């Protein structure tokens, strides 16, 4: 049995909200597999892990597990089913920008052909595990899609499993913690052992008693040497934000602009660790759990879906009521974004499809009630930032703390004027990043220009010195010749 304790979190999240959860909608029925779709869509640059390049061509036959995309970060994405590459074309993608992007389209053939990796045999070191994570396409399945191996620094003290899943409606992580508990615990133990981490914290909200029970029973069967510290969190949004989770469970404040890893802490989603466990056995990520939920669905539930499955296929599977459907969003009601083109395929970071009945009420002017500032978990003044952004002053918004905003949308949820504050902040942060990037690129160009000028100046000086030396040598030779002529005369 692994050594573990269960304790209640003694810290309080500052700000935040207690939204209506709606989680029971999708947890009444058990998690099931969805039939394979007729086509699978894999965006080359937006599958997670950064821009990529296609490793296959139209007409190629692929197996489940065949590498099809290599990202600049090194991460490899594989075909989730065996079949044929029928097209590489611009296609709708699941991304907040709602743009089209180059995508690989695969037509599954229904066969079970697999192209898996060789299993890793314990003991293995952290570099071996990093390479395996790259080959198996392991990235944060909680939404951000950050390549997991980049978090695995030697000397890290603690691993936190983020079991908070505080977004209302979402139950994909809760489901995984209940049905795939052993894989999650095994992935966490393997990672900890290879990095010499002794303590694994499981931060879990107190509205997930069944997941907690499953974790306890898995730990009782585990023979891991790691110590498991299970921290029960108040069910308050956004406890699952990385910075807040580190603070709640460890009391460590992660400075703005830095990641938890820079404070010696790795935070992983339960699904990421379960995927890592399978990758150790040779299986890259080909499927994930997606919550299909919302009042506009007749059969909301969690499903196991091949990566690349078009949204339309899932809407059909969940039996959507077209009369009451007002909108479909990827993710939860807080941080999700709307989708309009249902031919887009799910990616590794698609955790939820939310079909709502209600239209968002129209926006009205700010009444300066201050409710948004009261709930902001990073103590910002959202109303000031939005005034600045609406007035076109990005600099002022940045001065007000725009860069600290975690885009949690707690402010949206309480705004009586229905101002889409978080959407403004998301766009503002994009723009600020672009500007910083441009400034960085301009500074780099300036540096290159100055370095080039210095180099040219140095070459000119060297040339001048050589010319002067040559002149002196010639003058010396002439002088010697003149002297010689004089002496001979």
- Is residue 250 a contact point for ligand SF4 (CB under 6 A)? no
Position of tokens 């499927």?
287
Q: With respect to ligand SF4, which residue has the nearer C-beta, 305 or 397? A: 397
- Asked whether the CA dihedral 68, 90, 73, 191 is positive or negative, the reply is negative
Other beta carbons less than 10 A from residue 194's beta carbon: 21
Judged by CB under 6 A, how many residues of this single chain contact ligand SF4? 28
Q: Which stretch binds ligand SF4 (CB under 6 A): 26-34, 102-110, 165-173, 406-414?
A: 406-414
User: What is the spatial order of strands in the sheet that 67-71 belongs to?
Assistant: 52-54, 67-71, 76-78
User: Segment 423-442, which members bind ligand SF4 (CB under 6 A)?
Assistant: 425
474: three-class secondary structure by DSSP: helix
- Is residue 184 a contact point for ligand SF4 (CB under 6 A)? no
Q: How far is the CB of 50 from ligand SF4 (least distance, A)?
A: 25
Q: With respect to ligand SF4, which residue has the nearer C-beta, 109 or 417? A: 417
Residue of 391, 419, 422, 392 whose CA lies nearest to 405 = 422
User: Segment 439-458, which members bind ligand SF4 (CB under 6 A)?
Assistant: none
- Is residue 371 a contact point for ligand SF4 (CB under 6 A)? yes
- Is residue 212 a contact point for ligand SF4 (CB under 6 A)? no
Q: With respect to ligand SF4, which residue has the nearer C-beta, 209 or 370? A: 370
Report residue 17 as tokens: 């909200």
Measured distance CA(74)–CA(135) in Å, rounded: 8
Question: What residues contact 10, with CB distance under 8 A and at least 6 apart?
Answer: none
- Is residue 376 a contact point for ligand SF4 (CB under 6 A)? yes
- Is residue 407 a contact point for ligand SF4 (CB under 6 A)? yes
Choose which of 41, 75, 339, 372 interacts with ligand SF4 (CB under 6 A): 372
- Is residue 104 a contact point for ligand SF4 (CB under 6 A)? no
- Is residue 383 a contact point for ligand SF4 (CB under 6 A)? yes
- Count how many Cα atoms sit within 13 Å of the Cα of residue 60 in the half-sphere of its side chain: 16
Question: What residues contact 239, with CB distance under 8 A and at least 6 apart?
Answer: 13, 16, 164, 166, 203, 205, 233, 245, 248
Q: How far is the CB of 367 from ligand SF4 (least distance, A)?
A: 5
Report residue 60 as tokens: 């190629």
- Is residue 422 a contact point for ligand SF4 (CB under 6 A)? yes
Q: Which stretch binds ligand SF4 (CB under 6 A): 41-49, 409-417, 436-444, 468-476?
A: 409-417
- Is residue 17 a contact point for ligand SF4 (CB under 6 A)? no
Question: What residues contact 167, with CB distance under 8 A and at least 6 apart?
Answer: 237, 240, 331, 332, 333, 334, 335, 336, 352
**Contact indicator for 156, 263 with CB cutoff of 8 Å:** no
Q: How far is the CB of 380 from ligand SF4 (least distance, A)?
A: 4
Binding site for ligand SF4 (CB under 6 A): 366-372, 376-378, 380, 382-383, 405-411, 414-417, 419, 421-422, 425
């Amino acid at each position: 049995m692994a050594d573990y304790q269960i304790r209640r979190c003694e810290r309080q999240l500052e700000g935040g909200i207690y939204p209506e959860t709606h989680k029971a909608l999708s947890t009444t029925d058990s998690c099931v597999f969805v039939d394979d779709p007729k086509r699978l869509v894999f965006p080359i640059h937006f599958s997670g892990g950064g821009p990529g390049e296609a490793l296959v061509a139209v007409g190629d036959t692929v197996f489940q597990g065949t590498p099809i995309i290599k990202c600049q970060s090194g991460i490899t994405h594989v075909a989730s089913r065996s079949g044929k590459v029928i097209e590489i074309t611009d296609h709708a993608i699941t991304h907040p920008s709602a743009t089209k992007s180059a995508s690989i389209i695969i037509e599954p053939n229904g066969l079970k052909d697999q192209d898996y990796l060789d299993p890793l045999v314990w003991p293995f070191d952290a570099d071996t595990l990093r390479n395996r994570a790259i080959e198996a396409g392991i990235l944060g399945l909680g939404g951000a899609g950050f390549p997991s191996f980049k978090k695995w620094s030697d000397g890290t003290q603690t691993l936190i499993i983020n079991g908070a899943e505080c977004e209302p409606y979402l139950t994909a992580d809760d489901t995984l913690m209940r049905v795939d508990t052993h894989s999650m615990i095994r992935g966490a133990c393997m990672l900890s052992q290879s990095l010499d981490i002794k303590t694994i914290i499981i931060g879990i909200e107190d509205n997930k008693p069944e997941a907690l029970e499953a974790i306890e029973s898995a730990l009782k069967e585990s023979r891991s040497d790691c110590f498991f510290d299970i921290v029960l969190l108040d069910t308050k949004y956004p406890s699952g934000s990385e910075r807040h989770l580190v603070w709640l469970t460890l009391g460590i404040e992660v400075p703005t602009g830095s990641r938890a890893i820079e404070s010696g802490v790795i935070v992983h989603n339960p699904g990421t660790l379960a995927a890592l466990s399978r990758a150790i056995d040779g299986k890259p990520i080909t499927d994930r759990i997606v919550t299909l939920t919302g009042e506009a669905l007749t059969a909301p539930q969690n499903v196991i879906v091949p990566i690349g499955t078009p949204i339309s296929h899932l809407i059909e599977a969940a039996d959507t009521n077209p009369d009451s459907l007002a909108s479909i969003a990827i993710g939860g009601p807080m941080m999700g974004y709307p989708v309009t083109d249902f031919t887009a395929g799910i990616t590794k970071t698609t955790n939820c499809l939310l079909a709502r009945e209600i239209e968002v009420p129209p926006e009205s002017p700010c009444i300066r009630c201050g409710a948004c500032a009261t709930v902001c978990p990073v103590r910002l003044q959202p109303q000031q930032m939005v005034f600045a952004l609406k007035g076109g002053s990005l600099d002022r918004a940045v001065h007000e703390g725009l860069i600290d905003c975690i885009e949690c949308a707690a402010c949206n949820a309480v705004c009586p004027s229905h101002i889409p504050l978080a959407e403004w902040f998301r766009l503002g942060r994009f723009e600020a990043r672009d500007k910083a990037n441009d400034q960085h690129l301009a500074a780099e160009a300036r540096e290159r220009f100055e370095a080039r000028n210095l180099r040219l100046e140095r070459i000119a000086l060297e040339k001048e010195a050589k010319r002067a030396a040559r002149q002196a040598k010639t003058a010396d030779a002439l002088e010697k010749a003149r002297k010689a002529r004089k002496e001979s005369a």
